[in-house]
């Protein structure tokens, strides 16, 4: 009994040493990530008379690093692809929902430990909103979107990351109707992402 327990301990210890010696653990930017973010965006500017509020949820995929540069202090600046599916509950306007797709680069500046990054991105896409024939609302269902965002991401564990961001979004039908009020909203997003 003692001999089998000792053997099991030795085998376990050798397995741990062998596993520890397999190489450096992947850095957060070396693999793709799937993220979920939610937040609130409020109407800014005076494009429309309605006090729009967007309750937005995003599901995103980020690629591994596409290109980047490591600095002498071991910090890193890099670019990744980011593709996002957007679902929005619209409040304060004649419309009630918006579903869209967007794409952008994710520009990230990682600290030397690979535990935190500052990020920013700007991009756009297209989607559908349930438009109504109400003055000041969107003139048609097909809508283009453009956004800019910036925030911070924190590595919580080997697979999980947490993020907080400020985001601006513009919705417009590209001048295909007259009037073409557009919607400008600004707010915050909180999220988490999983990376293998």
Residue-wise pLDDT tens digits, 24-71:
468 999 999 999 999 999 999 888 889 999 999 999 999 999 999 999
Instruction: Please give the span between the terminal C-alpha atoms of the chain, in angstroms, as a whole number.
Output: 39
Phi, psi values for residue 94, rounded to 5°: -70, -25
pTM over 0.85: no
SS3 content of the chain, % helix, strand, coil (to 5): 10, 55, 35
What is the torsional sign of CA 110, 113, 114, 116? Answer: negative
| pLDDT tier at 134, thresholds 50, 70, 90 | confident
**DSSP summary character for residue 49:** S
Identify the residue whose tokens are 């080997």: 158
Residue-wise pLDDT tens digits, 151-167:
999 999 989 999 999 99
Containing 18, the helix (H) or strand (E) segment is helix 2-20
Question: Which structural domains are found in the chain, ordered by start?
Answer: 2-195 (2.40.160.20)
Residue of 2 and 194 predicted with greater confidence: 194
What percentage of residues in the chain have a pLDDT greater than 70? 86
**For residue 145, pLDDT beyond 80:** yes
Containing 37, the helix (H) or strand (E) segment is strand 33-43
Q: Of 15-19, 32-36, 75-79, 91-95, which range is least confident?
A: 15-19
In this prediction, residue 25 carries a pLDDT of: 62
């Amino acid at each position: 009994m003692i001999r089998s327990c000792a053997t099991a301990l030795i085998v376990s210890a050798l397995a741990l040493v062998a596993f520890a010696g397999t190489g450096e653990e992947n850095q957060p930017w070396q693999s793709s990530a799937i993220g979920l973010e939610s937040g609130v965006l409020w109407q800014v500017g005076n494009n429309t008379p309605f006090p729009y509020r967007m309750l937005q949820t995003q599901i995103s995929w980020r690629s591994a690093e596409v290109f980047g540069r490591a600095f002498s202090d071991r910090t890193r600046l890099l670019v990744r692809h980011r593709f996002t599916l957007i679902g929005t509950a619209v409040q304060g306007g004649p419309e009630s929902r918006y579903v869209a797709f967007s794409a952008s680069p994710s520009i990230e500046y990682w600290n030397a430990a690979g535990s935190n990054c500052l990020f920013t991105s700007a991009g756009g896409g297209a989607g559908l909103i349930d438009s109504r024939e109400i003055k000041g609302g969107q003139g048609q269902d097909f809508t283009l979107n453009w956004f800019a965002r910036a925030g911070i991401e924190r590595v919580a564990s080997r697979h999980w990351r947490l993020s907080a961001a400020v985001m601006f979004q513009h919705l417009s039908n590209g001048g295909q109707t007259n009037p073409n009020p557009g919607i400008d909203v600004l707010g915050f997003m909180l999220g988490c992402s999983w990376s293998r």
